[in-house]
Chain A
Amino acid sequence: DVKVTQSSRYLVKRTGEKVFLECVQDMDHENMFWYRQDPGLGLRLIYFSYDVKMKEKGDIPEGYSVSREKKERFSLILESTSTNQTSMYLCASTPSGERDTQYFGPGTRLTVL
């Protein structure tokens, strides 16, 4: 059974702090994704990675960066948080051979004060 875990369920930070959101999957998936979920906007893709050290911008990459040093781990980095980054962050992964099957993590609700 595929498992995608995220380092925190809830996180509260102050404006200007640096935040790392970690995502780990245990099924050797090549592709990993970070989405942001906001009411009335659905999920929007921030960044994705199709291999170790490979990354591509999604629809809303501004204010974010990512890191993928190991295949199982995909980190979302907020260098200097702002209040408009208060949101739910969802990680997902999918194997290259089954790109139509995405596995989601439980989400991290980030509040920036």
Chain B
Amino acid sequence: AQTVTQSQPEMSVQEAETVTLSCTYDTSENNYYLFWYKQPPSRQMILVIRQEAYKQQNATENRFSVNFQKAAKSFSLKISDSQLGDTAMYFCAFLLTDSWGKLQFGAGTQVVVTP
């Protein structure tokens, strides 16, 4: 079974600053995806970024980037130039490539961006 751990329940960052969220996972499989999802107060889950395990290059989406360390089973998210709209719960998630699409989620990190 796979597990996903987010050890930071809450993080606060000032506007325009950078914040890094940590995520570690445990699996014996080799083919999988990792995701960061954002859930704002509206509760709608929004995909922030995705990383395929076979790709060594770290994924980037505008102000969001990941540091994927496969050997260490670590998948951190960096939010640069934080904006008030980034305030949300952030979930790290794991998906086996050959599964039915069943996601395994971490506990979440609440990010609060302050003016």
Contacts of B99 in A (CB 8 A): 99
A45 touches B (CB below 8 Å): yes
In the complex the two chains form, is A45's CB within 8 Å of B43's CB? no
Given contacts A40-B9, A42-B108, A43-B91, contact A48 B42 (CB under 8 A): no
In the complex the two chains form, is B107's CB within 8 Å of A102's CB? no
Partner of A33, one of B6, B102, B107: B102
User: What's the Cα separation between A50 and B99 when bound, in Å?
Assistant: 11
When A and B form their complex, what is the total count of cross-chain residue pairs whose Cβ atoms lie within 8 Å? 57
* Interface SS, B side: loop
In the complex the two chains form, is A100's CB within 8 Å of B105's CB? no
Other A-B contacts than A31-B101, A42-B108, 8 sampled, CB-CB below 8 A, are A40-B9, A40-B107, A41-B107, A48-B101, A48-B102, A58-B102, A99-B101, A106-B44
User: Interface size class for chain A?
Assistant: 20 to 34
In the complex the two chains form, is A44's CB within 8 Å of B9's CB? no
Q: How many residues of B contact A (CB 8 A)?
A: 24
In the complex the two chains form, is B101's CB within 8 Å of A33's CB? yes
A26 touches B (CB below 8 Å): no
